[in-house]
Amino acid sequence: MVRPWKLLASLSAITTGAAIVALTLDAPSISAAALPSWNQVVLAAPGLTPSFDPSIAHYVVRQSNPEQPCAVHITASTPAGLRVGIDGRPPVSGSSGRFVSLTPGQGAQVLIVRGGDTRLVSIRCLPADFPHFVASGKGSAQWYLGDMAIGPRDRSYAYVVDSYGTPVWWYNDPAGRPTSLRLWSRAELASVNMSAPRAVSWMSGSHLRVSTLNGRIKETGWSADRHDIQPSGHGTTYAIRNVTRPCASNPRQCVDMRPYGGGAADKIIDGQIVELAPDGTVLWTWNGRDHIPVSATGNWLSESVTGAQRDGGAWDVVHLNSVAMDGKDIIVSARNLNSVFKISRSTGDILWRLGGTKSWASAKTVNPPKLVVDAHGFDVSERLISGQHDARLIPNGDLTLHDNGSLTMRKARVLRFQIDEVAGTAEIVESLTDPTLTQGSVCCGSTRRLANGNWITAWGADSLVSELRPDGHPIFSLTFPPASYPYRVVPVEDGVVPADAWRSGMDAMHPRT
């Protein structure tokens, strides 16, 4: 039995490849206290991003002409007691400089020596067509993994940036268009590629790709939707699939969509969750068509741009976009249902659902939410969440998600729910939004809560990624051009991947000869 949960409470206040390396050298003849500070190092290069700061290890210079390498003139100036070695030259005090020619991805290293301590600075050539964004502030995670899934150009890059927003690792695949980049292991990244643009739910031709940090690719051949992949924790993987009913070959599979502005015998796209063995064998399948009526799609049925009717009359009535583990059971987000729900792994039943339409009244649903209209005329029982993405459980059992606010008058927001499965209730215990936002988002997005309580959120079609403190104050952001944005951004906290792993990986992919 599915229990539509009631909302107990809502927060009223919604706020709007190089590394630093420490080496042990011979004991210096001058005490550390007598040495000049690191801040007295002056390092410069035309186009250096960000501006030099001795506490920052990673820098890039963007290629100005895609047909030519980055011509980088690196200069340094230090007082006595500090020495700088540019691109393999012996460290010296005073003024020094060197011209370095770098092709995209190649890097030059600058060694700074202060007594017995060293710092290594990396300057890497950024390709001319690398996604453009403006970084501001400093994040509290060590790394942020992203993609460039949406936009008129630059859609072929998966990338990693540091806490200042500087790219430290990237992979360019124009044919595959990688998305949903995530750590697969401490030494591997995984993404799901799309080879056919504008496929329904970005499904057609998608497959899981695993890459070592130095670019060695393992093509799994697994068929998986682009939206999400999730390791089970016991050697298998859960993935989303979208399957079109074979209406043409089997008319009984067609659906009468005339009540929703369609035809008498239209195609329906069903959402599936599959569990895959390491060799790609399907071990378990959950089919949404067995549990969710078409009427549950609600307001998305009439939304013509990003809604249910797409691709020549096929109706994307569910649009699954995230999958997460809750013990042996599964938490799923369905954008076109405005709902997050929990599936029993053993029975396939929907155990509970959060949000959803009042018309979701299948045989497994009782006591649909009472119709409540807010000051703007919206049914808040249906629009508690709207077009949401990235539903996750955090260690204390709370549910987090990115509420896009699609097709509503509110801004996109971060929500954290405290769940009581015995009582069948969900209480909003945290609700935040970036103060620069002015509207909801029709597509995409993610949010992750960090160990310090901060939130890193990709705000989807609002073309912004930002990290917010619990009080809603932004401390870090990546601002993209209009209509360009990542599908998801995943933080990696300190100590998981060492800084030199990214540098070594980039150097292996782009060696200097």
Query: How far is it, in rounded angstroms, from Cα 85 to Cα 111?
Result: 5
Q: Domain of 170? A: 3-16+127-509
Q: What integer pLDDT is reported at residue 501 of this predicted model?
A: 93
Strand 117-126 to strand 58-62: parallel, antiparallel, or no bridges (unpaired)? parallel
Residues 103 and 215 in one domain: no
Q: Over the stretch 29-72, which tens digit does the pLDDT of each residue have?
A: 556 678 999 999 999 999 999 999 999 999 999 999 999 999 99
Query: Quick one: pLDDT at residue 224?
Result: 74
Q: Strand, coil or helix: what is 297?
A: helix
pLDDT at 287 over 70: yes
Q: What separation in angstroms does the CA of 324 have from each of 278, 297, 333? A: 18, 22, 9
Model confidence pLDDT, tens digit, residues 339-394: 899 999 999 988 888 887 665 543 333 333 333 334 444 444 557 888 999 999 99
- Taking CA 446 as the corner, what is the angle to CA 445 and CA 452, rounded to the nearest 5 degrees? 145
Q: Which residue has the tokens 């949406």?
A: 150
Q: Both 203 and 55 in a single domain?
A: no
Burial class (CB in 10 A: 0-12, 13-18, 19+), 11: middle
High-pLDDT (> 90) share of the chain, %: 53
Residue 290, in any domain of the structure = yes
- How much is the pLDDT for 509? 93
Distance (Å, rounded) from C-alpha 124 to C-alpha 139?
21
Mean pLDDT taken over the chain = 83
pLDDT beyond 90 at 262: no
- 486 Cβ contact partners less than 8 Å away, ≥ 6 residues apart: 146, 147, 148, 149, 150, 444, 458, 465, 480
What pLDDT does residue 26 have? 39
* CA dihedral sign of residues 185, 191, 192, 195: negative
In sequence order, the β-bridge partners of residue 269 are: 244, 316
pLDDT over threshold 90, residue 190: no
Among 52-61, 320-329, 407-416, the least confident range: 407-416
Domain boundary among 102, 126, 150: 126
Q: Is residue 255 domain-shared with residue 361, that is, in the same domain?
A: yes
Last residue of a domain, one of 126, 145, 173: 126
**Partners of residue 425 on adjacent β-strands:** 6, 420
Assess if residue 26 is contained within a domain: no
Neighbours of 132 (CB within 10 A): 14
Burial string for 246-257 (b: 16+ CB within 10 Å, else e) reads ebeeeeebbbeb
419: pLDDT confidence band, cut at 50, 70 and 90?
confident
Q: pLDDT value at position 365?
A: 36
Residue 177 confidence (pLDDT): 76
Are 191 and 82 in a shared domain?
no
Are 335 and 323 in contact by the 8 Å Cβ rule? The answer is: no
Judgement on whether residues 192 and 295 belong to the same structural domain of the protein: yes
> Do residue 224 and residue 349 come from a single domain?
yes
Q: Does 175 map to a domain? A: yes
Cα 506 to Cα 167, 498, 509: the distances in Å are 11, 14, 5
CB 144 within 8 A of CB 491: yes
Q: What is the CATH number of the domain that holds 103?
A: 2.60.40
206 assigned to some structural domain: yes
Domain identity same for 300 and 335: yes
Condensed to tens digits (0 to 9), the pLDDT of residues 245-256 reads 888 899 999 999
Could you tell me if 122 and 135 lie in one domain?
A: no
Same domain, 451 and 329: yes
In a domain, 24, yes or no: no
pLDDT at site 32: 64
Taking the CA atoms of residue 491, residue 496, residue 500 and residue 505 in that order, the dihedral angle to the nearest 10 degrees is: -70
Between CA 237 and CA 282 the distance in angstroms is 10
Instruction: Supply the DSSP string of 389-457, one letter for each residue.
Output: EEEEE-TTS-EEEEE--TTSSSPPEEEEEEEETTTTEEEEEEEE--TT--S--SS--EEEE-TTS-EEE
Between residues 177 and 456, which one has the greater pLDDT?
456
> Strand, coil or helix: what is 174?
coil
**For residue 13, what pLDDT is reported?**
29
Do 118 and 135 lie in a common domain? no
If one counts the domains in the chain, the total is 2
Mean pLDDT across the stretch 253-274? 88
Assigned domain for 202 exists? yes
Higher pLDDT, 46 or 259: 46
Cβ(212)–Cβ(236) below 8 Å: no
pLDDT score of 434: 97
pLDDT at residue 29 in the model: 52
User: Binning pLDDT at 50, 70 and 90, where does residue 312 land?
Assistant: low
Task: Answer yes or no: are the C-beta atoms of 164 and 157 closer than 8 Å.
Answer: no
Beta bridge partners of 120: 111
In a domain, 25, yes or no: no
Distance, in Å, from the CA atom of 224 to the CA atom of 238, rounded to the nearest integer, reads: 9
- 100 plus 143 within the same structural domain: no
Q: How far apart are CA 445 and CA 306, in angstroms?
A: 14
Instruction: Mark which of 97, 126, 155 sits at the end of a domain.
Output: 126
What digits encode the pLDDT tens for the residues 12-30? 222 333 333 333 333 345 5
pLDDT digits (tens, 9 = 90+) for 195-243: 533 333 323 345 567 778 887 877 666 777 778 888 888 889 898 988 8
Return the half-sphere exposure (C-beta side, CA atoms, 13 A cut-off) of residue 115: 13
CATH of the domain at 481: 2.120.10.30
Same domain, 255 and 380: yes
Whether residue 1 is predicted with pLDDT greater than 60 in this model: the reply is no
* Residue 391 forms part of a structural domain: yes
pLDDT-derived band of residue 416, with 50, 70 and 90 as boundaries?
very high
The pTM is what?
A: 0.87
Convert the pLDDT of each residue in 115-172 to its tens digit: 999 999 999 999 999 999 999 999 999 999 999 878 777 678 999 999 999 999 998 8
